[in-house]
Amino acid sequence: MTTNDAVADRLEEFADRLEALEVEYKPRAYRRAAENVRTHPESVDALAREGTDAVGEIDRVGDAIAAKIVEFVETGAIDELEDLRDELPADIVALTRVEGVGPKTVGQLYDALGIETLDDLDAAAEAGEIQTVDGFGPTSEANIAAGIETARRASERERLDRARPRAEAIREYLAVHEDSDEVSLAGSIRRWKPTVGDVDVLVASGSGAAIVEAFTDWPEADRTIEAGDQKAAIESGGVRIDLRVVAPGEFGAATQYFTGSRDHNVDLRQRAIDRDWKLNEFGLFDVPGVEDDDQRAGERIAGEHEAAIYDALDLPPIEPELREGRGEIAAAADGELPDLIDAGDLRGDLHVHTDASDGDATIEEMARAAAERGLDYLGIADHAAGPGIVGGVGLSDDELRAHRDRIRELDDTVDIRLLAGVEANIAPDGTIGIDDDLLASLDVVVASPHHDLSGPGTDRLVAAAEHPHVDVIGHPTGAYRLGREGLGLDLDRLGQVAAEHDTALEVNANPRRLDLGGRAVRTVLEAGAQIVVNTDAHRPSALDLVRYGVHTARRGWAEADDVLNAQSVETVLDA
């Protein structure tokens, strides 16, 4: 089965090769299509087997690109891409991982020096040949040489939970430096994407050298990748962290620009152009009659503060999680941005485990931890017996009855309302292997797919959502980030059925899952369904993972009213 990532990788390579050959316009179309394919909630493989019309329903995938996707899924190759590889036989994916080497650089170096691989690039830099190419010099050659080894290792993305804590740690470390005026994260880490390539951090300061020195001296840094007067990069725990020091008066513009996404920035920049202004990383400028190519040329309208950029363009501030070029600027202009859910809005968690199944803590310990975190109620949803349960530790019906009774006995002894529940397995035919009367006696029933997690899964989950005693569909696709792709789902249909039957669809906050993802959340909300942000915690500390689920819900434009566990326990029990 061809994964969405594999398809997106091919489209991104297509874009890079077209850009390297200096083809105009088309590279951007392929990059937009690649991003939408990569984040599409359904299996693109399954869509491709239905034909180009089905693939063409993906946002910003036109007929020509859809045909290429179908060709790749069916044959494992794209003839036109193979022709481009023949025309430019360079390993463009590997070469563009080198800092400062973009697709156009690859094209230049191939034409001038015949460079095709990282080894070729390394040899050319060692021989001093790169600086002989027009547009290059000793400094650019040295920078390229310094980035080659890092590029060899930069083939993996990192899950958000591995990168985010390091990002927050370096932000806090730099924020207390005497020469730091302001510090902000940027890039995909600030937009809370589920996986990131690296961490971007910006510092407003008039003393770039001092900030760079402090950055490279950070005790958590394993090595320095590069260091200049205003920019540097380090590696910490396998995560690359890039620093950029900017002038205090340009900090807001730089934060906006480097947060992205590319599509958001393109749309925002067009709004500036429509006013005869220009927007870049240095500020927002009034430029009528200005012919100077200097990016700072013109009268500066805004730049010191990010919010001022949006305000000058007659927009309210747009939260970073929404900046994906998916209609957020039009919504902001029309006063229709969502009032996004916040972690403080959550009143309970409906999906946690104890040592009755595969958890590491008792009911009392989980209840105490949840109460300490300010929750009003907690759904104990240990596994029922069934296929796919790790270690075969699921509860039989008789064990589940006893467990239910134990939870209710403890309800009066803890400082939180306990809900007796279960996480049941959804079989491939959509059935729930638990006695109906037992299900009816529980406060909350989470039904989740745990095995046979490839191929289409819509009918399977629709059947579970229609079950009269199922309250929540847990981790609907069963996917693992940077691992298992999971079930292909028609989320419009699933969302409609879930809405009709008052079944909530879970955003599983475990960063290994983040399932549903942000794009999928928006789809099911538009279909009328409600979501629930659960931690699936197996130990007390895992309750803190809830923030990853909340930010994922925010990426899906979710408001508090859209989230079941942002409501009272009475509302939950009546659902």
CATH number of domain containing 324:
3.30.210.10
Q: Give a yes or no: residue 251 inside a domain.
A: no
310 and 365 part of one domain: no
Asked if the structure places residue 338 within a domain, the reply is no
Query: Is residue 478 situated within a structural domain?
Result: yes
d(CA 219, CA 370): 33
**Domain annotation covers residue 252:** no
Task: Return phi, psi of residue 536, to 5°.
Answer: 55, 35
Q: Are 493 and 462 in contact (CB under 8 A)?
A: yes
Q: Report the CATH number at residue 36.
A: 1.10.150.110
In sequence order, what are the residues at sequence separation of 6 or more whose Cβ sits closer than 8 angstroms to the Cβ of residue 371? 414, 415, 416
Q: Are 99 and 31 in contact, with CB atoms under 8 Å apart? A: no
> Do 529 and 409 share a structural domain?
yes
In order along its 575 residues, the chain shows pLDDT tens digits of 566 767 888 999 999 999 999 998 899 899 889 878 876 778 888 899 999 999 999 988 999 999 999 999 999 889 999 999 999 999 998 898 787 799 999 999 999 999 999 999 999 999 999 999 999 999 999 989 988 877 775 556 788 988 999 999 999 999 999 999 999 999 999 999 999 989 999 999 999 999 999 999 998 898 999 999 999 999 887 789 999 999 999 999 999 999 999 999 999 999 999 999 999 999 999 988 776 678 888 899 999 999 999 999 999 999 999 999 999 999 999 999 999 999 999 999 999 999 999 888 899 999 999 999 999 999 999 999 877 666 567 899 999 999 999 999 999 999 999 999 999 999 999 999 999 999 999 999 999 999 888 789 999 999 999 999 999 999 999 988 876 778 999 999 999 999 999 999 999 999 999 999 999 999 999 999 999 999 999 988 899 999 999 999 999 999 999 999 999 999 999 87
Full domain range(s) for residue 356? 343-574
- Asked if 325 and 457 sit in the same domain, the reply is no
Scored b (16 or more CB within 10 A) or e, 465-490 reads: bebebbbbbbbbbbbbbeeebbbbbb
What's the length of the chain?
Answer: 575
Calpha distance 422→443 (Å, rounded): 9
What radius of gyration do the chain's Cα atoms show? 26
The per-residue pLDDT for 389 is 67
Residues 218 and 199 in one domain: yes
Specify the pLDDT at position 466. 97
End-of-domain residue from the set 153, 179, 201: 153
Same domain, 528 and 559: yes
The per-residue b/e assignment along 83-113, b for 16 or more CB within 10 angstroms, e otherwise, is ebeeebebbbebbbbbbebebebbbbbbebb
For 430, residues 6+ apart whose C-beta sits below 8 A from its C-beta are: 459, 460, 461, 462, 463, 464
552 with 413, same domain: the answer is: yes
Tell me how crowded residue 295 is: count the other CB atoms within 10 A of its CB: 12
Same domain, 105 and 241: no
**How high is the pLDDT of residue 159?**
87
Total number of domains in the chain: 4
Same domain, 405 and 553: yes
3-state secondary structure 197-236: CCEEEEEECCCHHHHHHHHHCCCCCCEEEEECCCEEEEEE
Q: Which of 103, 124, 153 is the last residue of a domain?
A: 153
pLDDT of residue 483: 66
User: What's phi and psi for 78, nearest 5 deg?
Assistant: -125, 115
- Same domain for 546 and 480, yes or no, is yes
Number of Cβ within a 10 Å radius of residue 114: 11
Q: Quick one: 194 and 271 in the same domain?
A: no
Q: Which CATH number covers residue 429?
A: 3.20.20.140
Cα torsion 492, 494, 496, 499: sign: negative
With H, G, I as helix, E, B as strand and everything else as coil, classify residue 158: strand
Q: Is residue 136 part of a domain?
A: yes
Last residue of a domain, one of 187, 222, 246: 246
Answer yes or no: do 293 and 388 share one domain: no
Residue 191 lies in a domain: yes
**Residue 28: inside a domain:** yes
pLDDT tens, residue by residue, 7-64 = 888 999 999 999 999 998 899 899 889 878 876 778 888 899 999 999 999 988 999 9
Q: Across the strands, what pairs with 224? A: 234
Residue 253 maps to a domain: no
Same domain, 223 and 368: no
